[in-house]
Structure 1
Amino acid sequence: MTDTEHGAPRTAAAFRTVYGAQPHGIWAAPGRVNLIGEHTDYNDGFVMPLALPHTTLAAAAPRTDGVLRLHSGGADGGVVELRIDALHPVPGSASETLSASRGGAQRSGGWAAYPAGVVWAMREAGLPVGGADLHYDSTVPTGAGLSSSAALEVVTALALNDLYALGLEPQRLARLAQRAENAFVGVPCGIMDQTAAACCTAGHALFLDTRDLTHRQVPFDLAGEGLRLLVVDTRVKHELGDGAYAERRAGCERGARALGVRALRDVSPAQLPDALAHLADEPQLQALVRHIVTENHRVEEVIACLDAGRTRAIGPLLTAGHASLRDDFAISCRELDLAVDTATAAGALGARMTGGGFGGSAIVLVEEADAATVGKAVTEAFAAAGHTAPRIFEAVPSAGAHRIE
């Protein structure tokens, strides 16, 4: 039995305690790490995430009175009560959006905007979604670049899909969850995180073309090859809604317009020198363009290695991706750089930051025999630098969103 399945009875019991009734079901959606392809998703590019065993669980039951009640085992403030016909996106913070509704919204904090946004997005799409009671428990670390927000959105969408017998496919649920985060919460994220949470399968990484949403499950049996993929949570919290993420996206869009292409995905590595020359007067745009073009190519190179059974060969590509994110995209931080540099110096095959940046986590590809040594070296390096001790755990390619009971 998985940790997620073990957690389901506790989540059901918490629902009964909070709402005084039995839930109609328990659903789960995972966090994710992105093996390669960072910030390429909103440039119509390629990404390759895998689902983590860490999940957000939702116990839920429908309501007939148009009320949405939300409760989290990991948040203070009690039950957030909203009217679904009063939900609407408001420019500014998530708390502004929620405070437009009634009840406990004013004291909810930002987390409740994510499930509320999913309800809004589904209703905006014309889907017959009514009220609901939902209780959440999660083992996905927040602020660690592991897509805790997407897990929350997707598990809400999946629960509502079942409660209201909508019959939506996983990719449609992912698009609705992205719509909630973009338009309701106000984070201009791409589609990768929600697609990973909805569509990944155990034992595989997901190769996704974010332009047409075609995808392929790529076998990724690290244990069978004597390898491990470690996640180093630096415990440096990042907030993608603080403007830095939006600035990078806007810069990429400016670069595409300046180059006369639909998106930076349309610039090939062979065309890159000419593209950079065209942007000679705008070095910041040059750097953004260089990262996106080379990162898309790195995804293709990783796919070629995995298809050829050369998993160890992806290590240098991961490290090169980190250098590009650090130097060209400028979204790393000293803790992430320390984790990557220390891991590679201690014998890792490759390492890079993963996620939106400005904190969060790094991934480290290691031989199984070296995993403990590399983890110890990173922990000791953080202590020597006076940083908070990192959380290090193994990324095991796991299942996407599903109903448990």
Structure 2
Amino acid sequence: MSAQEAIPVFTNLTDLYASLGTSLNHAERWNNLAEEFEKRFGKQPTYIARAPGRVNLIGEHIDYALFGVLPAAIERDILIAVAPRDVPPSSPTAETHHAPGSVIAENLHPKYTRQVFAPAPKAKPANVDDEVHVEGWHLEIPQELRWENYVKAGYYGVLEEHFTGAAVHPIPVDLLVTGSVPAGSGLSSSAAMVVASTLAFLAINGKLEGADKVAKGELVKMSMENEKRVGVNSGGMDQAASVMSVPSSVLYITFYPSLTASPTPLPPGAVLVCAHSLKVSDKALTAKRGYNLRVVETLVGARALARSLNIPVGTREKITLREVVGRLVEEADVGKGGAGMSADALAEVLERVRGAVEALKPPGGTEANEFGATLEEMVRLSGLGEAEFREVYLSWVEVDATHFKLYKRAKHVYSEALRVLQFRKLCLDTAAAPAAEGADGVAVLKQLGQLMNDSQTSCADDFECSCEELDELTRLAREAGAYGSRLTGAGWGGCTVSLVPEAEVASFIKKVSETYAPYKGLEGEALSEVIFATRPSTGACVYKFD
């Protein structure tokens, strides 16, 4: 898939709805948004920008180790209707909504209030000639997880990319947001919000059409940077899945030696079912013992493993587990813009490296202490002095632990990376031999399901990013007839994803909803908010009104 592909701009609703999938009544949602926009702002929108959430089928906590993952866009999405706002020349610019580039933002959800904000050109240095154009913008974006901050983040990226140094200011706009991606579920509602916001401001300022139109790859990069402005660092998986996905396929996203994405057709006969555990993990509160700690453990594990394999590592280099296997086989031309080893070659190396990971078990380690290394042992395994170690691995992140489980984390990363490649190969082989139906087709789906189950086991036992609720929900999903079920997203709460026979989706959802205790009493729309079917959907797009 080329990152140079244009972002789809639809002018025909039939074509638009046909591209989005079948599980939601898309026409009703889009029409309702347009009608509500007209009620609130007295005009029809000029564009509706759409960005889907994503579900990661397999490949958890390995993207920051630079291994490939297999997410898919889901049908649930963020929609933003937008139109220019006329501001008479005589309007007092001291009022925010009259200022150049001002935004009046509303949300269909009644708990969110109207927000009004405007960017301001950065003050020009005194020694700069008046003929020189604006060289930057200021737009206050508190690092708080509030809906309007994601809108601002998308806007700021467009300002910096397309209006820095420009003689023309962005136009004032009105916008209305709605979404069907459950927040805090691990389905990347935040990334979808930033992508949709970025896309809406690009569209309304004429950056999606003409010779200089923004391509998919550019939108991914912009959205990654934009999301950092609300304090969320990302390796690009969420944004790439939201922008570059195609229907009926998962997206194989690799990060080394560069970010690439290619569709992998999912075999027919199964549907994805997402189920929220209703356990919400606050990353900000748990990061020191959760996400941040895992990042440090995998990085230190990579250095320690490299040393055991006599692979040179720079003193201040934070080598990743993916780079270790590349250097192990002297991967050609990676530092010179090369594509790196093939997927088949990488799978072979991952098979070989399994035994080498045993070197990360601390001396005298037993199952009882789960192979945890003390800080002193970890420093020794790294080959650095304590001051150097703290500077390289602990000066930029807060962690809270007495023992660091380098062996178990590396074991998960390498086994999970191999499962991703095996899952992808099964899908590609099936697509190359489409006659495999009936019993053969079911056999393939069962193999894919087993890889998902093995992933869940590894996430729970080796990476320890599951929780009681996710363990219970995946168990109930398998008992209800899923081929496979696993957590998706960072874990410690959030959603599961299950591969379910197409003909049994309704009965599957009924069984799970009746057996998972936190769903007791939920029905109708409330139930469909926490457990729902989806097919891999198309990526971000825009509808242009006449």
Q: TM-score, normalised by structure 2?
A: 0.65
Q: Post-superposition shift, 1:350?
A: 1.1
SS of structure 2 residue aligned to 1:216: strand
Aligned equivalents of 1:353, 1:158: Cα separation in 2? 29
> Which residues of 2 match residues 43-58 of structure 1 at below 5 A?
43-58=65-80
If each structure's strand is expressed as a fraction of its own residues, which one has the higher value?
1
Pick closer, same or farther for the CA change 1:335–1:388 going to 2, 3 Å: farther
Tell me the equivalent position of 1:158.
199
Counterpart mapping for 1:4-403 below 5 A:
4-62=26-84, 65-74=100-109, 76-85=111-120, 86-88=138-140, 93-94=143-144, 110-125=146-161, 127=163, 130=170, 131-166=172-207, 167-182=213-228, 184-211=229-256, 212-222=258-268, 226-242=269-285, 243=287, 244-258=290-304, 259=306, 260=313, 262-266=319-323, 267=325, 268-269=349-350, 270-278=352-360, 280=362, 281=373, 282=378, 283-309=404-430, 310-383=444-517, 391-403=530-542
Q: Residues 321 and 117 from structure 1, CA distance in 2 versus in 1: closer, same or farther, beyond 3 angstroms? A: same
Do the aligned residues in 1 keep the contact of 2:505 with 2:533 (CA within 8 Å)?
no
Deviation at 1:387, TM superposition (A): 6.7
Paired-residue identity, % = 30
| Distance in 2 (alpha carbons) for counterparts of 1:246 and 1:69 | 36
* Gap change, CA 1:374 and 1:37, over 3 Å in 2: same
1:279 CA displacement: 5.8
Question: More helix per residue: 1 or 2?
Answer: 1
Separation of aligned partners in 1, 2:405 and 2:84: 50
TM-aligned CA deviation for residue 62 of structure 1: 4.0
Given that residues 4 and 28 in structure 1 are in contact (C-alpha distance below 8 angstroms), is that contact kept between their aligned partners in structure 2? no
Change (3 A) 1:238 1:84: farther
Residue type of the alignment partner of 2:487: M
CA contact (8 A) 2:154 2:194 kept: yes
Deviates more, 1:341-350 or 1:184-193: 341-350
Deviation by residue 1:115-153 (Cα, 9 ceiling, x = unmatched): 211222333445567353321111111111111111111
Change (3 A) 1:157 1:333: same
CA 1:358–1:400 in structure 2 vs 1: closer, same or farther (change >3 Å)? same
Give me the TM-score of the superposition, normalised by structure 1.
Answer: 0.86
Instruction: Name the count of aligned residue pairs.
Output: 384
CA distance in 1, matches of 2:303, 2:38: 54
Alpha carbons 2:301, 2:360 under 8 Å: kept = no
In structure 1, the gaps of 5 or more residues are 95-108
Between 289-298 and 272-281, the greater mean CA deviation after superposition: 272-281
CA shift for structure 1 position 330: 1.7
> Where does the alignment leave 5 or more consecutive residues of structure 2 unmatched?
1-13, 18-24, 86-98, 121-137, 208-212, 307-312, 326-348, 363-372, 379-403, 431-443
The answer (yes or no) to whether the contact 2:273–2:534 under 8 Å persists in 1 is yes
- Residue identity opposite 1:204 in structure 2: S
Q: Which amino acid aligns with 1:368?
A: E
- Contact 2:65 2:322 survives alignment (8 Å): yes
Give the greater-gyration-radius structure (CA).
2
Instruction: Report the CA distance shift for 1:36/1:172 in structure 2 as closer, same or farther (over 3 A).
Output: same
Assess if the C-alpha contact under 8 Å between 1:45 and 1:265 holds in 2: yes
**Residue 351 of structure 1, CA deviation:** 0.8
Distance 1:323 1:33 in 2: 18
**Greater CA drift, 353-362 or 14-23:** 14-23
More moved, 294-303 vs 70-79: 70-79
